[in-house]
């Protein structure tokens, strides 16, 4: 099996797509075949694009360049109080300002002031509403009468129409103009610079430049006005605050002077407190407090050990006591002596008991000494507490002696600090006030226009030729796509190459289609006899030659002609083939074996009562079933009635005997067999004939249908001599350009004089 490309070229299965070269001739033939749909879609699309292109008004774009300063130079209330605010605003923020609806409303108010002011006279919306009510008034009244009255009142549909005020009408025009500018405005940042490109597009070039300049100029004016306003507010605030700060400085300095005179103190002098003595007492108090806390901590630790029943021998005071250390040495010697004696005597020996008694006395003396050490710690704590209390008493006396002078000095220093703070704040505000007052005369905007918009001389929109070209390209691509889709869904067989490539059988010829006008009302076999040098006749001769040369040693005598389905030109071909053989001097019999739908009688008018069915059922003799066609000069056995079981009759012994008898009488027996698909009659006949000629209708029989039919014929062992394509439109077939013998009929059509 092979596959067929969408351009008509066949290639074997199993070949990778990468190995298939581009079939340029096939593409050309595809374009030629589908030129009608491609050219139609291309022409329609191009015309539509041209109409749109020439009807669209050209638009003009004007550009103004605005540079934003890198830092914020405005002196406002925040900078006046807390320092300058450096340039942290990004260019994107300024771009958002330029495209904001509030800013565009201001631009519309400036550029279209007269139009907005005349809006109440130009817009008569009330009259328009009245006119609309006259159009739908009757319908609305009818609908309102159908609704419940409570529902109409509750929903408010029966209320009077709201009338617009003059200001609302002006707002409508203002919103319309601002929305129009928003849709036509494009603001971009030029690379990574501080330059903003303001582009405005309009059908009027003057309008485009006017609006672009209006936007950047209003931005600059708005910046200057905002700075002036902010600077003015800052100056006013600083003036008021300076008056308040000056009064605070004066009051605080007077308070310092009055308090110093009242307390007999001058700049903190005259304090009678003995600082050195106070320092010494303070150091002594700190040392005593530290010693007390240390003793208290040691005693708490000792009491904790006693409460838990643990030994106090691990205390540092105990370990550092020489007396206890000597007692521990005596105890160690006694234990060593006890150990030596126990190795000689028993526990009841007097010497051992004496040593044990001595050890107990030593331990008692150790415990007594430990208690004494703990008591000494408690006594030391008592002494330290008394010392600390004595020091505190001396300090209280000293403080009481110099308290009044110290309090006065402290208060004086506090008043002096407040006066200094007020003076420093006053000086800061005074400096800011001078800077702000000087800057009022040189207020500048954050940006400047580096390139104002000019009236464009050429439109920025696409020219009509662009629409024509784009429409031509797009519609052409669409036409090719539609042609390709049509080609893919068109699965009909058109060439002998397709038959040979897909079905694996030779194509013996292409039978051209002859219209009734070409035939002058004659039957096809009559036309063949009357036009011996025509294309149609030559095709049948070529078919006869191919059948004869199929097996030179034993040429077929009984030839069955079958098709996949009905209405494929099988019967017309059978009759014409019989006429062509007879015209060549052969004795030919035409046998109609399509018992279900016999068609030979439609092509040949024969008289007589007998037919094939009558002969097979024994109702007539062979001579009665045989007829002769005078036009084609061949004999015919047709079918005049339909039997109840066609397959049984065709497979009968009488049918076999008939064919054996006819072989001896005739040179060729052409059998008009039934279609292969759908019925089994054709398979029964194939067992009796020598060869099978398969008929394919040009452009109608699909590859799938033909493949199924060939598969069915091969399954019953039929000898398929080849295929023939019928009803070929020569002119249309030439558009496919398959080459080979298929192209000769159209290329050399004038050679056939008839």
Angle (nearest 5°) at CA 651 between 628 and 708 = 95
Q: What is the pLDDT of residues 225-268, one digit of tens each?
A: 877 777 777 777 777 777 887 788 787 777 777 777 776 555 44
Q: Enumerate the H helices of 308-349 as residue ranges.
A: 316-319, 322-342
Question: What six digits make up the tokens of 257?
Answer: 């002077």
Q: Name, of 170-184, 343-357, 522-536, the range with top average pLDDT.
A: 170-184
Sign of CA dihedral 633, 635, 638, 640: positive
For residue 72, the model assigns a pLDDT of: 44
Q: What is the pLDDT of residues 483-540, one digit of tens each?
A: 888 777 777 787 788 888 888 888 888 888 887 788 777 887 778 888 777 878 888 8
Say which range, 83-97, 147-161, 717-731, has the weakest mean pLDDT: 147-161
Once rounded to an integer, what is the mean pLDDT over residues 581-596?
A: 88
For the residues 292-305, what does the mean pLDDT come to? 74
How many C-alpha atoms does 189 have within 13 Å on its Cβ side?
12
Residue 511: which of 524, 501, 499 has the closest Cα?
524
Query: CA-CA distance, 201 to 92, in Å (whole number)?
Result: 21
Entry pTM: 0.47
β-pairing verdict for 627-629 and 447-451: unpaired
For the record, the structure tokens of 280 come out as 């010494």
Q: Rg of the chain over CA atoms, in angstroms?
A: 62
By C-alpha distance, which of 692, 695, 670 is closest to 590? Answer: 670
Q: Give the integer Cα–Cα distance in Å for 558 and 746.
A: 32
What is residue 164's DSSP assignment? P
Please report the pLDDT score of residue 671 as a whole number: 92
DSSP 8-state class, residue 441: G
Give one DSSP letter per residue of 493-513, joined into a string.
---HHHHHHHH-S-EEEEEEP
Spatial strand order in the sheet of 691-697? 507-512, 720-728, 691-697, 558-563, 668-672, 588-592, 634-637, 627-629
Which of 194, 184, 168, 223 lies closest to 67 in space, CA to CA? 194
Cβ-based neighbours of 271, under 8 Å, separated by 6 or more = 265, 402, 405, 406, 409
Backbone dihedral angles phi then psi of residue 201, each to the nearest 5 degrees: -115, 135
**What residues have CB less than 8 Å from 445, skipping those under 6 apart?**
219, 220, 221, 223, 224, 227
Residue found by looking up tokens 């009245």 in the block: 130
- Give the best-scoring range by mean pLDDT among 305-309, 346-350, 687-691, 742-746: 687-691
Phi, psi dihedral angles at 720 (to 5 degrees): -85, 105
- Which of 438, 711, 691, 447 has its CA nearest to residue 564? 711
Cα gap 450→251, rounded to integer Å? 55
pLDDT tens digits for range 80-130: 444 333 344 568 888 888 888 888 888 888 888 888 877 777 665 444 444
**In sequence order, what are the beta bridge partners of 636?**
590, 627
Contact status, residue 602 vs residue 563, Cβ threshold 8 Å: no
Statement: residue 17 has pLDDT above 50: no
Query: What does the alpha-carbon distance between residue 430 and residue 432 come to, in Å, rounded to a whole number?
Result: 5
- The answer to whether residues 324 and 318 touch, using CB atoms and an 8 Å cutoff, is yes
Which band of pLDDT confidence, cut at 50, 70 and 90, is reported for residue 662? very high
In this predicted structure, which of 312-321, 352-361, 516-525 has the lowest mean pLDDT?
312-321
Of 235, 228, 229, residue with least CA distance to 441: 228
* pLDDT recorded at residue 523: 80
Residue-level pLDDT at 443 = 57
* 529 contacts 632 by C-beta, under 8 angstroms: yes
pLDDT value at 636 more than 80: yes
- For residue 698, give the nearest of 731, 733, 722 by alpha carbon: 733
Please give the residue that has the higher pLDDT: either 727 or 300.
727
User: Which of 83-87, 212-216, 435-439 shows the highest mean pLDDT?
Assistant: 212-216
Question: How far lies 577's CA from each of 452, 522, 568, 638, 666, in Å?
Answer: 90, 16, 15, 16, 15
Instruction: Decide if pLDDT at 78 tops 70.
Output: no
pLDDT of residue 572 exceeding 60, the answer is yes
Count the residues in the chain: 754
Condensed to tens digits (0 to 9), the pLDDT of residues 262-287 reads 765 554 444 444 567 777 777 787 77
Note the pLDDT of residue 316. 66
Give the helix/strand (H/E) hosting 67: strand 60-68
In angstroms, what CA-CA distances link 414 with 269, 335, 662?
15, 76, 147
Average pLDDT over residues 547-572: 84
Distance from C-alpha of 98 to C-alpha of 101, rounded to nearest angstrom:
9
With CA atoms as reference, report the closest residue to 670 among 566, 600, 597. Answer: 600
Q: Which of 339, 338, 374 is nearest to 358 (CA)?
A: 338
More confident residue, 299 or 656: 656
Residue in this structure with the two tokens 């099988």, named with its chain if needed = 570
* The two three-digit tokens of residue 746, written as one number: 């159209």
Sheet holding 195-202, edge to edge: 185-189, 195-202, 60-68, 447-451
pLDDT for 588 equals 92
d(CA 260, CA 454): 76
Q: Please give the angle made by the CA atoms of 111, 112 and 116, to the nearest 5 degrees.
A: 150
E strand or H helix that includes residue 112:
none
Is the separation of the CB atoms in 714 and 720 below 8 Å?
yes
pLDDT of residue 474: 92
The mean of the pLDDT values for the chain is 76
Tokens standing for 294? 């240390």
pLDDT in tens, 450-470: 888 888 888 887 888 888 888
Residue 668 to residue 143: CA distance in whole angstroms:
87
Cβ contacts of 99 within 8 Å, gap of 6 or more: 182, 185, 187
Q: What is the pLDDT of residue 2?
A: 42
266 near 408, Cβ under 8 Å?
A: no
The position carrying tokens 């003799």 is 621
SS3 280: helix
Quote the percentage of the chain above a pLDDT of 70: 78
Q: Between the ranges 78-87, 275-284, 353-362, 698-707, where is the mean pLDDT highest?
A: 698-707
- Retrieve residue 382's tokens: 């008592």
Within 19-100, residue ranges assigned H as helices are: 24-33, 35-55, 77-82, 91-99
Average pLDDT over residues 398-415: 67
Between vectors from CA 600 to CA 599 and to CA 604, what angle results, nearest 5°?
A: 130
Helix axes 24-33, 464-489, angle to 10 degrees: 100
Which of 384-393, 578-587, 684-693 is predicted least confidently? 384-393
Which residues, 6 or more positions from 330, have their beta carbon under 8 angstroms from its beta carbon? 362
Cβ atoms of residues 78 and 222 within 8 Å:
no
Segment among 73-82, 255-264, 308-317, 400-409 with least mean pLDDT: 73-82
Torsion of CA 119, 122, 126, 132, to 10 degrees: -130
Percent of the chain beyond pLDDT 90?
5
**Range with the poorest average pLDDT among 153-167, 212-226, 290-304, 324-338:** 153-167
What are the structure tokens assigned to 19, written together? 């190995």
Question: Who contacts 622 (Cβ-Cβ below 8 Å, separation ≥6)?
Answer: 615, 658, 661
Q: Are 282 and 395 in contact (CB under 8 A)?
A: yes
For residues 178 and 105, is the Cβ–Cβ distance under 8 A? yes
Average pLDDT over every residue of 730-735: 69
Burial 464-477 (b: 16+ CB within 10 A, else e): beebbbebbeebbe
Distance (Å, rounded) from C-alpha 525 to C-alpha 540?
10
- pLDDT tier at 669, thresholds 50, 70, 90: very high
For the chain, the distance separating the N- and C-terminal CA atoms, rounded to the nearest angstrom, is 39
Q: What integer pLDDT is reported at residue 153 of this predicted model?
A: 47
* Mean pLDDT confidence for 621-639: 87
139's enclosing H/E stretch is helix 125-146
Q: What is the pLDDT of residue 85?
A: 34
């Amino acid at each position: 099996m092979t596959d067929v490309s969408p351009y008509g070229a066949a290639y074997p299965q199993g070949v990778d797509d990468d190995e298939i070269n581009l079939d340029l001739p096939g593409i050309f033939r595809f374009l030629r075949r589908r030129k009608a749909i491609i050219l139609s879609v291309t022409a329609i699309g191009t015309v539509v694009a041209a109409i749109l292109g020439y009807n669209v008004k050209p638009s003009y774009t004007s550009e103004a360049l605005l540079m934003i300063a890198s830092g914020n130079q405005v002196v406002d209330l925040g900078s006046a109080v807390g320092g300058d605010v450096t340039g942290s605003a990004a260019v994107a923020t300024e771009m958002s300002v330029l495209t904001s609806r509030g800013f565009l409303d201001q631009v519309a108010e400036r550029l279209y002031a007269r139009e907005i002011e005349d809006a109440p006279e130009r817009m008569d919306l009330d009259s328009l509403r009245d006119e609309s009510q006259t159009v739908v008034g009757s319908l609305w009244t009818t609908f309102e009468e159908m609704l419940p009255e409570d529902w109409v009142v509750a929903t408010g549909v029966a209320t009077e129409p709201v009338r617009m005020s003059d200001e609302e009408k002006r707002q409508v025009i203002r919103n319309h103009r601002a929305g129009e500018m928003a849709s036509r405005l494009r603001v971009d940042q030029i690379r990574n610079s501080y330059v903003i490109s303001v582009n405005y597009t309009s059908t009027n070039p003057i309008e485009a430049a006017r609006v672009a300049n209006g936007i950047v100029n209003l931005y600059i004016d708005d910046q200057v006005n905002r700075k002036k306003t902010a600077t003015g507010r800052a100056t006013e605030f600083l003036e008021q605050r300076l008056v308040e700060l000056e009064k605070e400085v004066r009051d605080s300095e007077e308070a310092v002077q009055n308090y110093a005179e009242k307390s007999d103190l001058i700049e903190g002098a005259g304090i009678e407190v003995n600082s050195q003595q106070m320092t010494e007492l303070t150091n002594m108090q700190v040392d005593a407090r530290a010693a007390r806390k240390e003793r208290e901590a040691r005693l708490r630790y000792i009491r904790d050990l006693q409460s838990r029943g643990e030994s106090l021998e691990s205390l540092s005071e105990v370990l550092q006591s020489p007396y206890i250390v000597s007692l521990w040495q005596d105890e160690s010697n006694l234990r060593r002596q006890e150990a030596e004696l126990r190795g000689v005597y028993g526990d009841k020996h007097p010497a051992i008991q004496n040593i044990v008694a001595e050890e107990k006395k030593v331990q008692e003396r150790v415990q007594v000494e430990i208690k004494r050490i703990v008591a000494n710690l408690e006594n030391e704590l008592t002494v330290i507490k008394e010392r600390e209390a004595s020091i505190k008493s001396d300090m209280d006396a000293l403080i009481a002696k110099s308290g009044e002078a110290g309090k006065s000095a402290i208060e004086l220093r506090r008043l002096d600090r407040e006066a200094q703070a007020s003076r420093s704040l006053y000086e800061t505000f005074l400096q800011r006030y001078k800077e702000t007052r000087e800057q009022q005369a040189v207020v500048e905007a954050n940006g400047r226009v580096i390139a104002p918009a000019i009236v464009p001389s050429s439109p920025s929109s696409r020219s009509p030729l662009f629409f024509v070209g784009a429409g031509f390209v797009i519609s052409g691509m669409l036409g090719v796509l539609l042609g390709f889709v049509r080609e893919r869904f068109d699965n009909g067989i058109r060439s002998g190459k397709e038959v040979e490539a897909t079905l694996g059988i030779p194509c013996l010829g292409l039978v051209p289609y002859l219209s009734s006008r070409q035939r002058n009302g004659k039957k096809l076999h009559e036309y063949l006899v009357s036009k011996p040098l025509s294309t149609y006749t030559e095709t049948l001769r070529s078919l006869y030659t191919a059948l004869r040369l199929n097996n030179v040693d034993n040429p077929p005598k009984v030839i069955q002609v079958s098709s996949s389905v009905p209405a494929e030109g099988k019967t017309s071909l059978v009759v014409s083939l019989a006429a062509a053989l007879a015209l060549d001097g052969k004795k030919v019999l035409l046998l109609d074996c399509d018992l279900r739908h016999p068609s030979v009688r439609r092509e040949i008018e024969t008289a007589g009562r007998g037919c094939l069915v009558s002969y097979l059922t024994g109702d007539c003799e062979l001579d009665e079933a045989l007829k002769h066609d005078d036009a084609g000069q061949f004999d015919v056995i047709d079918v005049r009635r339909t039997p109840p079981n066609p397959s049984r009759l065709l497979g009968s012994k009488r049918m076999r005997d008939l064919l054996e008898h006819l072989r001896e009488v005739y040179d060729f027996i052409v059998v008009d067999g039934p279609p292969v698909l759908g019925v089994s009659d054709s398979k029964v006949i194939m067992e009796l004939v020598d060869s099978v000629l398969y008929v394919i209708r040009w452009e109608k029989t699909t590859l799938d249908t033909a493949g199924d039919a060939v598969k069915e014929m091969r399954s019953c062992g039929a000898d398929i001599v080849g295929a023939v394509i019928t009803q070929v439109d020569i002119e249309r077939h030439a558009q496919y350009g398959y080459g080979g013998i298929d192209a000769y009929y159209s290329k050399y059509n004038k050679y056939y004089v008839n």
